[in-house]
């Protein structure tokens, strides 16, 4: 995967909640931290406008980012993000260093294809219901996908696809499935609309009356 994203940052020497609030308010910077690998955690600050611009692209959340701190670049992934509960403001960001040849845990978005032509939608009049929107995976940096496709073409009304039904790209492992047990969660299903469910119940009632 190519490094399509470059993010500039600066070292941050002052710590604490008060300093972070002043940083956000006066300098329009986002306090952040880089950790992982063999280096010590490093406190940094990022231009809020620049970070928000990148966050508008879905691929940024699961892509290797070239983070340039005071002119020195290193590969990272976005690991965590804190947003203000009421305002469109990013409060804090966590970045994890990427170590070549070492597997990492990443959340990757799911892209659902063939929804409009799915058997349960086109023939059964059902509605597609997304139960998961991303998947946590274990993967080497070189094999990191930007997204994982989930094909619902053959899914009928009342049926579901589970994690084990997804065709994962080469080198990608589902963390949930690796845990075993009851972690094979449903990802997507096709459900009956409420009106259809009522009509089915009415048809069953009429059939019972005719039988009597």
Q: State the pLDDT at residue 181.
A: 74
By residue range, what is the domain housing residue 80? Answer: 5-99
Residues 6+ positions from 163 with CB-CB distance below 8 Å: 132, 135, 174, 176, 177, 183, 184, 185, 187
Q: Are the C-beta atoms of 154 and 160 separated by less than 8 Å?
A: no
Q: State the pLDDT at residue 18.
A: 59
Q: State the pLDDT at residue 2.
A: 44
Q: Are the C-beta atoms of 65 and 6 separated by less than 8 Å?
A: yes
H or E, element range at 195: helix 194-211
CB atoms within 10 A of CB 120: 23
Q: State the pLDDT at residue 128.
A: 97
Digit-coded pLDDT (tens) for 27-73: 588 999 999 988 999 999 999 999 999 999 999 999 999 999 989 99
- Does a structural domain hold residue 23? yes
Q: State the pLDDT at residue 1.
A: 45
Same domain (yes/no): 95, 117? no
> Among candidates 96, 84, 14, 86, which has minimal Cα distance to 48?
84
Backbone angles phi, psi at 166, to 5 degrees: -80, 135
Same domain (yes/no): 9, 52? yes
CATH number at residue 47: 2.40.240.10
Same domain (yes/no): 72, 136? no
Which of 45, 80, 99 is the last residue in one of the domains?
99
CATH number at residue 123: 2.170.120.20
Length of the chain: 212
Provide the β-strand partners of residue 11.
Answer: 44
Q: State the pLDDT at residue 154.
A: 96
Residue stretches of the chain with pLDDT short of 50: 1-3, 202, 207, 209, 212
Q: String of b and e for 157-195 (b: at least 16 CB within 10 Å)?
A: bebbbbbeebebeeebebbbbeeeeeeeeebbbbbbeee
- Does a structural domain hold residue 204? no
Number of folded domains that form the chain? 2
Q: Is 119 helix (H, G, I), strand (E, B) or coil?
A: helix
Q: State the pLDDT at residue 200.
A: 55
The sign of the dihedral angle between the CA atoms of 180, 132, 103, 32 is: negative
Same domain (yes/no): 117, 80? no
Arithmetic mean of pLDDT over the chain:
87
């Amino acid at each position: 995967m190519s490094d399509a994203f470059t993010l500039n940052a600066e070292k941050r020497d002052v710590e604490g909640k008060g300093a972070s609030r002043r940083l956000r308010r006066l300098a329009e910077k986002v306090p952040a931290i880089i950790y992982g690998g063999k280096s010590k955690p490093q406190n940094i600050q990022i231009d809020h406008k620049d970070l928000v611009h990148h966050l508008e692209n879905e691929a940024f959340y699961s892509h290797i980012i070239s983070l340039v701190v005071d002119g020195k670049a290193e590969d990272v992934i976005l690991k965590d993000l804190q947003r203000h509960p009421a305002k469109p403001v990013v409060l804090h960001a966590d970045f994890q260093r990427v170590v070549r040849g070492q597997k990492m845990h990443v959340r990757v978005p799911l892209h659902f294809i063939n929804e409009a032509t799915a058997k349960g939608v086109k023939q059964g009049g059902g509605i597609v219901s997304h139960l998961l929107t991303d998947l946590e995976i274990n993967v080497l940096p070189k094999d990191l996908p930007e997204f994982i496709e989930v094909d619902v073409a053959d899914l009928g009304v009342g049926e579901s696809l589970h994690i084990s039904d997804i065709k994962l790209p080469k080198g990608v492992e589902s963390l949930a499935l690796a845990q075993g047990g009851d972690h094979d969660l449903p990802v997507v299903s096709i459900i009956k609309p409420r009106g259809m469910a009522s009509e089915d119940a009415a048809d069953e009632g009429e059939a019972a009356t005719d039988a009597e």
